[in-house]
Structure formats: C-alpha cells, structure tokens
Amino acid sequence: DAGVIQSPRHEVTEMGQEVTLRCKPISGHNSLFWYRQTMMRGLELLIYFNNNVPIDDSGMPEDRFSAKMPNASFSTLKIQPSEPRDSAVYFCASSFAGGSEQYFGPGTRLTVT
C-alpha cells in the first residue's frame, strides 16, 4: 500500500517567491497534518484537518502561510511570499480521525535563499 506521498521532495527558491507543497494522504485516512521540522524548534504542528475541514491552525506562523484540503486525497501548503527563515523540512502526516497514530510522508526540504 502507498504511504503518504509528498511533492516535491526538494524545493529551492528565492526570497519573495510563492512555494506550494503537496500531500496525498493514505487512502481511507480522514485526518491530515502539516508539520515543520528544524534543528532549533524540532517538529512543530502547523495545521490539521479532519474530513477536509481545518480544525486547528494555531501553529501557522503568519498570514504568509495557508493550507487547503479540497478533497480527501489532496492537500496543499502554500507560502507566499517565502522568506529565508521558512527554510525547513515540511512533513505531511495522516491518520484515522479519532486515532492518534500518525503516518508521515518523506517530507519536502525547502530552502529559501
């Protein structure tokens, strides 16, 4: 079975550009999570969805970040405009709603120069 799929795996962009990260959760899972991981701050939850509805976006750092889940099999995390401090590895994870066990994708390593 396919796990969580993320694209791209690596993204290098210049400050001020728009960045879009994509995620396909495991089929049948109805909760989706976006995390950011850095050496300084560890793994931080940005936002999560249950049944395509955003439940908690308190971890989204600022208005430059937005996330959507138009259907059960696809989500995007967008940064506009990007800044060098956004450089990190961004993970998407999915789970069954009501269950705590999360399955992570391979991550997108974002570098903003």
Partner 1 sequence: TQLLEQSPQFLSIQEGENLTVYCNSSSVFSSLQWYRQEPGEGPVLLVTVVTGGEVKKLKRLTFQFGDARKDSSLHITAAQPGDTGLYLCAGARGGNKLVFGAGTILRVKS
As measured in angstroms, the least distance from the Cβ of 81 to partner 1 is 27
10 vs 14 by CB, closer to partner 1:
10
* Tokens describing residue 111: 């570098």
82 vs 102 by CB, closer to partner 1:
102
The whole-angstrom separation of Cα 81 and Cα 12 is 14
Binding partner 1 by CB under 8 A: which of 19, 21, 25, 48?
A: 48
Q: Are 107 and 91 in contact (CB under 8 A)?
A: yes
Site for partner 1 contains 75 (CB under 8 A) = no
Site for partner 1 contains 34 (CB under 8 A) = no
* Tokens describing residue 71: 């259907």
The whole-angstrom separation of Cα 40 and Cα 57 is 21
The whole-angstrom separation of Cα 60 and Cα 68 is 13
Site for partner 1 contains 21 (CB under 8 A) = no
Site for partner 1 contains 31 (CB under 8 A) = yes
Binding partner 1 by CB under 8 A: which of 21, 65, 91, 112?
A: 91
Closest among 62, 51, 54 to 95, alpha carbons compared: 51
Q: By the criterion CB under 8 A, which residues form the site for partner 1?
A: 4, 31, 42-43, 45, 48, 50, 56, 91, 93, 95-107
